Structure 1
């Protein structure tokens, strides 16, 4: 169906290949068309930091299973009443284009980290972006999109460089394990292990452990707020803020936007159905740490910024999650971007996406550099 995309975004929507998620998970599948890949890379945004930012690939302790069948780390999940599971939302500013266009967006970030899907016997792979600035600095744990099944750190290098430089903050991008080889809660286990490491290594990294935010897009937005739930329920380590960009929050496929957007670029309902099936390891009702909107109580979570796009199947569940946060007393800022599609802020450099990225930087800067610190 036709969509009234922002005029500057429309050419990007036409360029994005339509690749079913069932093909994305074929790790040995055929490579993308070289000409298409070259055109995608040519159009991807670039970023030159204003200050020096060092980039280092590391492996941090953890990644061993922390969860039992009841939920992450074995807690009995607290559920709200809900319909049967299905899947409402996956991740994916990475999506099909993520695998195809990974290299160019990495730019200054250097070479790719080995995929966490290969296992975590040597720890969780992370990429650390450290700006030259007077410290101690706040830190941001960044969790990439990709429908829980794909996504490369290189593809999100521009975003991480921008945040490190402009917030400024130490940014730790997590190369968490991917489904279907590693279903829930593997990715959340890796995320929590990264937070524990970051808190413990704060002195070495020049980080203020009281000013750590979790941020992510799509599936990464799911992991960011799931991490906030988990740290609240476990009593720490504490988070100061959560930035949720087009987040996955609901596994039920029941919202109007999820029902309507069956062929939108970057993410659509068929992708969401498969994404949830792969992430949960089959069909079934998701626990709240997998589908955060199912949590009975969101009170006590850190303040949030939620961004949603007009032509995104995840739009309405993002709005609903922001409403739940507000109703439970969590300071929350909600932005809906007209004319935008899922993942537009990652892949395009136009007036609208520049505003989206500026809003992200501004929200994190306000949260992490408050004058009362």
Structure 2
């Protein structure tokens, strides 16, 4: 941790139910240093970690965009939330964001005493491109074997660079278009061969077994909800414990702020936090 300073929770925050300590640090990323923001309840000791990855279609988004969801999990679960400001395309294409996520997970383990984390109990969540990054991290953790992700929560994740499972935009009142998705994938995956890599295209992967349990939240008003639900079905077929829920009044962008979706993810994590204690 190079630099850390307390940001604190502003008085009268509309969603504050617990006093939170909020700190920032810069850590070594894949190609350059990246910013992380840490959220924890004040006065609590060593905590499991939820790594959170913001949305933005690989080319945008920030730690501020992750603020609402990150605070929700830190306030309502006994966890340290580490929001990761991963590198963005097109300046940093695949696998930069994914490798940044992996380095953030390793940092959470290595710096456990400094940041007050239980580095052996890691979980991950993400929205949009951040869902793609969180999912890719689960693949990397499984394959490299030195990081273990206990469970994932994905909110309207981008999962299919081939874009073969989109909902009909003439029927779905989506706030993200196929053209925007295509531009995002081309920025992050500039080479055609990258768009078939299993870490980048999980719908194309023939090896899903061994991934952690997943909660997948989809929005009815989102052209991407079909691919996420298709992925959930394939995970279930591969023996991965998976819960998928579609939110009728949500959109692609708003689902990361949807109280019901966050509460459902919170309950999912609660279950797996308990299991990680009893099994550990």
Q: Same fold (TM over 0.5)?
A: yes
Query: Which residue does the alignment assign to 1:195?
Result: 105
Aligned partners of 2:16 and 2:71: how far apart in 1? 7
Residues 214 and 136 of structure 1: CA distance in aligned 2, closer, same or farther (over 3 Å) = same
Query: Which residue does the alignment assign to 1:286?
Result: 196
Aligned partners of 1:308 and 1:231: how far apart in 2? 24
Matches within 5 A, 1:122-137: 123-132=33-42, 134-137=44-47
Aligned counterpart for 1:311 among listed residues 221, 227, 250: 221
Aligned partners of 2:107 and 2:96: how far apart in 1? 16
TM-superposed deviation, 1:135: 3.2
Name the stretch that deviates more: 220-229 or 154-163: 154-163
Please report the RMSD computed on the Cα atoms of aligned residues, expressed in angstroms: 1.9
Q: Deviations over 1:34-62 (max 9, x none)?
A: xxxxxxxxxxxx64322221111101123
Residues 354 and 126 of structure 1: CA distance in aligned 2, closer, same or farther (over 3 Å) = same
Aligned partners of 2:170 and 2:95: how far apart in 1? 28
Larger radius of gyration: 1
TM-score (norm 2): 0.88
Q: Which runs of 5+ in 1 are unaligned?
A: 1-45, 65-119, 348-352
Query: Which residue does the alignment assign to 2:62?
Result: 152
CA contact (8 A) 2:172 2:222 kept: no
Q: Which runs of 5+ in 2 are unaligned?
A: 1-12
CA contact (8 A) 1:210 1:240 kept: no
Q: How many pairs align?
A: 265
TM-superposed deviation, 1:148: 0.3
Q: Deviations over 1:262-316 (max 9, x none)?
A: 9844311111111111111254533111122222111111111011111211101
Aligned partners of 1:277 and 1:256: how far apart in 2? 17
Match status 1:48 vs 2:10: no
Match status 1:334 vs 2:239: no
Query: Which residue does the alignment assign to 2:8?
Result: none
Larger RCO (alpha carbons 8 Å, 6+ apart) = 1
